[in-house]
Amino acid sequence: MAERFSSVSDTVERLRTVDYLADTAIAGVVYLADRLEKPVLVEGPAGVGKTELAKAIAEVTGSRLIRLQCYEGLDESKALYEWNYKKQLLRIQADREHESDWADVESDIFSESFLLTRPLLEAIRSEEPIVLLIDEVDRVEIETEALLLEVLSDFQVSIPELGTIVGKQRPIVLLTSNNTRELSEALKRRCLYLHIDYPELEREKEIVRVRVPEIDEELAEQIAQVVRSIRALDIKKAPSISETIDWARTLLFLGHTSIDPQVIGETLNVLLKYQTDIAKARKELVDTASPTGRKA
């Protein structure tokens, strides 16, 4: 099949066209996923752009994004397929008058028109190019993971009544995980692995510039610096990229053109969500931000 990306640098550039700034690690893995036709397991702290990545890939490759949001209790009938049993009942009742034989009815009610497709089956049967995103896969029980394995390794689904449905094409598949539990070895083995962390200063600055174009370079730099400073503190939840962007928008909205301790103090609650974190950051950045007041 046609390859979506021609090289790692091509991947970087094309993702950039949809405002997703990928570093070598991200672009390398996406490129590899395309070439090896393997799913990618994306891990990392919340809000570093794991889901965004899937959206960006779908957009540049002109594919439809099919998303399966995982949660505890997700099962086959929600992820793969389900027989539309109400419709099956109707069919059987409607048949009473015609008295057709049982074998006909059976083969009829277990045909594709009585199948309710759920995201995974929908992805497999899709004619158009797609990107499949299996979001927060760590939320399903370890037993449920197993139902993903066939899809991930061979991109097919076995339905007892219909046989095996094989995918018409190999889409890019992304799985995201927030690390709330260890995923099974079997799942990891089938995937390429990508860990996205908080970005370096330069990249974060660029992200801010791209996402909030109204912000000038200097302010973007200051924003990135403050965020790096805060992330270096020992806090419960470090600000994510999306929070950085929110903060940038807030500053813009309030009409600040540069950052001083007072501005930080007033808007810190956009970046940090725990009261203890806010207090700590305030102490470090707002109250004692003097050259001698070094942090430990």
Please report, as ranges, the residues that interact with another protein according to CB under 8 A.
7-8, 24-25, 28-29, 31-32, 35-36, 38, 40-41, 43-44, 141, 179-182, 185, 188-195, 197, 201, 218, 222, 225-226, 228-229, 232, 234, 236, 258-261, 264, 276, 285, 289-291, 293-294
- CA pair distance 232, 230, nearest whole angstrom: 5
Cα-only R_g, the chain: 24
Q: If you search the block for the tokens 């049993």, which residue do you land on?
A: 85
Least distance from another protein to the Cβ atom of residue 129, Å: 20
Decide whether 93 or 180 has the Cβ nearer to another protein: 180
- What is the nearest approach in angstroms of another protein to the Cβ of residue 243? 19
Nearest approach, Cβ of residue 58 and another protein (Å): 20
CB of 192 to another protein, least distance (A): 4
Mapped onto helix, strand or coil, the DSSP state of residue 236 is coil
Token pair of 261, please?
Answer: 């301790």
97 versus 185: smaller Cβ distance to another protein: 185
DSSP string, 144-184: HHHHHHHHHHHSEEEETTTEEEEPSS--EEEEEE--SSPPP
CB of 254 to another protein, least distance (A): 16
Residue with smaller CB distance to another protein, 116 or 142: 142
**Sign of the four-CA dihedral 268, 207, 40, 162:** positive
